[in-house]
Amino acid sequence: MTKAEYKQTFTDEDAVGWMSIDQQLEKLYPGQEPQHYGTVVKYMIGGNDPLDGLSIYESSKHTDHFHIVSYGLSELYYNEESAGGEFSKWGFELTFRVKKANGESPSDQAWAMNMMQNLARYVFSSKRWFEEYHALDARGPIRIGYDTDITALAFVTDPELGTIDTPHGQVQFLQIVGLTTDEFKSLTVNNGDKTVEEVITQLRANDPLLITDLGRK
């Protein structure tokens, strides 16, 4: 899309990139109204949270789980200078699938949203981004105060949302996947014998959506 086409199609009141994300989610969850959590003070005007919002959808595919999607790592709002770019801002948004447990509701997933904000904060402050099959040590349980052996994270392209083209450029939905302590230790970056892709392939054999189960050992 050229800048001229962009100006003819949208106005400065349109959240162009946000609408592109919503359109992809509507295809996956037709008619479902997600629980949305917006940032009170936007990062662009001095707030502490880089993500302008996070939406939580509920899925029963494979295993009942929450599907959390970020808004803020790609260009969300009207911006003529971003029209027709190769990548929309950082070129991705984060997603995270968490297995439902103990009757929890979307409001109980504040820990997951805080984690996603922290990951976004790292991207904005370091000017480094995550890519598929990147892995990192969480240096402890990813949910503080919860009995879990999920202590590391890996990143893959979300198996259902994939990558989309927007008026601002490409946006990849990059899904966070929880790894156990032993899985992270087995990686070649820790002198193990497996690549991140190999570990993900093993997990995908039993769980094609790569849902993070905090009870997994």
Q: What is the mean pLDDT of the chain?
A: 96
Q: What is the pLDDT of residues 6-64, one digit of tens each?
A: 999 999 999 999 999 999 999 999 999 999 999 877 777 777 899 999 999 999 999 99
pLDDT at 67 over 90: yes
What does the pLDDT read at residue 41?
A: 72
CA pair distance 16, 167, nearest whole angstrom: 7
Write the single-letter amino acid at 45: I
Phi, then psi, of 128 in degrees rounded to 5: -115, 145
Query: What is the average pLDDT across 130-135?
Result: 97
Report residue 143's pLDDT band, with 50, 70 and 90 as the boundaries: very high
What does the pLDDT read at residue 31?
A: 97
Q: What is the pTM of this model?
A: 0.95
What does the pLDDT read at residue 78?
A: 98
Q: What is the pLDDT of residues 78-120, one digit of tens each?
A: 999 999 999 999 999 999 999 999 889 999 999 999 999 999 9
Q: What is the pLDDT of residues 178-198, one digit of tens each?
A: 999 999 999 998 999 999 999
Sign of the torsion angle spanned by Cα atoms 122, 140, 151, 116 = negative
Other residues' Cβ atoms within 10 Å of the Cβ of residue 163: 14
